Amino acid sequence: MKHIPRKRFGQHFLADPAVIDAIVRAIDPRPGQAVVEIGPGLAALTQPLVERLGLLTVIELDRDLAARLRAHPQLTVIESDVLKVDFAQVAQALAATKIRVTGNLPYNISSPILFHLLPFADGIEDQHFMLQKEVVDRMVAAPSTSDYGRLSVMLQWRYAMECVLTVPPDAFDPPPRVMSAVVRMQPRADFAPVDAALLSELVQVAFSQRRKLLRHTLGRWLEARGFTGEFDVQRRAEEVPVDEYLALATSLQK
């Protein structure tokens, strides 16, 4: 029976064999590696992955799709909302020091998924995700560009990232109304040990009014915290490099 894509799950299924092949080559799965796929859907990417790996763990929310996937002898199916999955427990169940994570993420909750994975970065070898291209552009953006923002800072703190593939709408069924892209995310070993909640609040305040100088937003926030250190608030939020936000968060922790 044909599966009807469900809008509430943001389902757009990969259907272009050339694109699927390019994604698998970018991931480069090897036999025996512990890989977790988020949102396998109709298994377009799942099947070539499992053929190379031998075994694969998948996370699927749609109960009809999960039931189909359970019939595959090489798949371990976690039927759950990915935002409720403890990836440390998944790694433990797989007896893996580090896991690799991949998937065609639902575009309506892609940012929450990326932030959910952030605390598990120590136990992740790499992540390859299909996302809306504009989200990938924001993830990898450099300072002093219009795409640079909270997502750029929070993710670049923890990952080295690159866009490895751009994917047109007609590669999907049904086609989304936007361009897509595949991003590679590799957790940094040398990341600054800052408090994630503090950094998140700091960056959120900084970018709350992008067009204004930071003295109107972050400057007042720093004053309220009794900050007496050096930080140039005569700039806009997008002009501040990631390292400077990290240095500021570090100084606030002392």
Structure tokens, 206: 């900084």
14 annotated ligand-binding residue: yes
Q: Mean of the per-residue pLDDT values for the chain?
A: 92
Residue 60 marked ligand-binding: yes
Single out the residue of 178, 30, 205, 200 nearest to residue 110, CA to CA: 178
In degrees and rounded to multiples of 5, residue 180 shows phi and psi of: -120, 170
Which of 41-50, 119-128, 165-174 has the highest mean predicted lDDT (pLDDT)? 119-128
Residue 143 DSSP label: T
- The helix-helix angle for 196-206 and 242-253 (nearest 10°) equals 120
Instruction: Indicate the pTM of the whole model.
Output: 0.91
Give Cβ neighbours of residue 183 (< 8 Å, ≥ 6 apart).
127, 128, 129, 131, 136, 139, 140, 161, 162, 163, 164
What confidence tens digit (pLDDT) does each residue in 52-101 have? 999 999 999 999 999 999 999 999 999 999 999 999 999 999 999 999 99
129-147 pLDDT tens trace:
999 999 999 999 999 999 9
pLDDT tens digits, 239-248: 999 999 999 9
**Token pair listed for 169:** 């709408």
147 is in an annotated binding site: no
Complete domains list, the chain, with CATH: 7-187 (3.40.50.150), 196-253 (1.10.8.100)
Determine if residue 81 is labeled as part of a ligand binding site: yes
53 belongs to an annotated ligand binding site: no
Cα 6 to Cα 61: distance, rounded to the nearest angstrom: 11
114 is in an annotated binding site: no
> H or E stretch including 205?
helix 196-206
DSSP state of 164: E
